[in-house]
């Protein structure tokens, strides 16, 4: 499942990059477009859809459906949270910060008087700046005046910058931490016997946690609705960009997901559990993650545009998810 989710991000970001080149998206919105195309809502939607499918009397997934449905959805949510903040977050940050740097550089000349044109020199008096003409020698440059930087060194430095911008507090979101705790409890038999089961001594802890967790889905749904409401106010995002993101998330990714899961099944990388394959396919058909909108709010860049994109993608997803879920179940039945 982690490999499959990683593939959704890789394929989605590649399609987002193609969309940026075709639509010539403004630079400050490019990170958001890549984030919307790569990061799917692997949280509350899967927790709603997968258990709901298992409640049907004629479900094609058999008796094991109710046993593993929430486990598969919870694992998907935890892994997705890690990838969203470690993979999509650097893209949004990079383009947003670059846009802010350009805006600040355009406003910088206004901070200095017209009589002083050498603001980068250490001297506070422009008339004495000749004494520092020998300082600040630039590295070797080519004929165009550009600094020569080895390709390998440049690549390593870029990777270090991106890794340095990853916020571990956001990568290990509460859902991811809860999944890790669940793995520990589930795999260590003595702890599992103490907490899980009707006759467990600390069964009340399990019941209390389950009761609190049931309120998470409606709370997340309310937050999602509040974020979508902002899209009704309009934005400057191009309709072509919106159509492109809707096509990527609701047409191209699900089709490619069918091929990826079928190929994994053919090469023996996925077992015969049809419910598990259904979850893997469904991960490609989900709308963009609401966390992308949170990122735009953090950087104060593209908030209205992200709300508009979320509004249209979720409106279309209300229909497309039903169609794709039906097709996936038909293929696996």
Give the CATH number of the domain where residue 60 resides.
Answer: 1.20.1530
Does some domain include residue 144? no
Tokens of 291: 């966390």
pLDDT < 50: residue spans in the chain: 111-118, 123, 126-138
pLDDT at 309: 87
pLDDT at 285: 92
Task: Give the whole-angstrom CA distance, residue 7 versus residue 54.
Answer: 26
Does some domain include residue 293? yes
Does some domain include residue 203? yes
Task: Report yes or no: 292 and 19 within 8 Å, Cβ to Cβ.
Answer: no
Counted domains in the chain: 1
Domain range for 253 = 1-101+167-332
Task: Give the whole-angstrom CA distance, residue 288 versus residue 293.
Answer: 9
- HSE-up (13 A, CA, CB side) for residue 196: 12
Does some domain include residue 74? yes
Does some domain include residue 207? yes
Does some domain include residue 53? yes
Task: Give the whole-angstrom CA distance, residue 274 versus residue 58.
Answer: 14
Cβ neighbour number for residue 267 with a 10 Å cutoff: 8
Tokens of 162: 């991106």
Does some domain include residue 112? no
What pTM, to 2 d.p., does this model score? 0.71
Task: Give the whole-angstrom CA distance, residue 307 versus residue 229.
Answer: 8
Does some domain include residue 299? yes
């Amino acid at each position: 499942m982690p490999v499959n989710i990683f593939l959704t991000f890789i394929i989605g970001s590649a399609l987002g990059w193609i969309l940026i080149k075709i639509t010539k998206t403004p630079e400050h919105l490019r990170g958001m477009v890549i984030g919307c195309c790569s990061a799917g809502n692997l949280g509350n939607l899967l927790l709603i859809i997968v258990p709901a499918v298992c409640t049907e009397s004629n479900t094609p997934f058999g008796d094991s459906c109710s046993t593993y449905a929430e486990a598969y959805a919870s694992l998907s949510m935890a892994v997705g949270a890690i990838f969203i903040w470690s993979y999509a977050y650097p893209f949004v940050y990079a383009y947003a910060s670059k846009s802010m740097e350009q805006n600040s550089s355009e406003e910088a000349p206004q901070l200095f008087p017209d009589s002083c044109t050498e603001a980068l020199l250490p001297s506070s008096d422009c008339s004495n700046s000749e004494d520092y003409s020998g300082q600040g020698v630039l590295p070797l440059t080519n004929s165009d005046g550009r600094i020569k930087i080895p390709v390998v060194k440049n690549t390593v430095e870029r990777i270090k910058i991106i890794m340095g911008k990853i916020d571990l507090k956001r990568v290990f979101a509460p859902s991811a931490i809860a999944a890790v705790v669940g793995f520990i409890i589930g795999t260590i038999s003595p702890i599992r016997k103490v907490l899980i089961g009707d006759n467990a001594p600390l069964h009340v802890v399990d019941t209390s946690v389950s009761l609190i967790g049931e309120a998470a889905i409606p709370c997340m749904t309310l937050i999602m609705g509040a974020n979508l409401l902002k899209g009704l106010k309009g934005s400057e995002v191009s309709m072509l960009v919106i159509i492109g993101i809707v096509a990527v998330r609701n047409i191209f990714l699900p089709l490619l997901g069918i091929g990826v899961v079928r190929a994994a099944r053919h090469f023996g990388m996925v077992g015969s559990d049809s419910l598990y394959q259904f979850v893997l396919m469904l991960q490609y058909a989900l709308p963009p993650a609401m966390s992308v909108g949170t990122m735009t709010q953090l950087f104060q860049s593209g908030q209205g545009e992200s709300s508009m994109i979320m509004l249209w993608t979720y409106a279309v997803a209300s229909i497309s998810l039903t169609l794709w879920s039906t097709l996936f179940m038909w293929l696996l039945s």
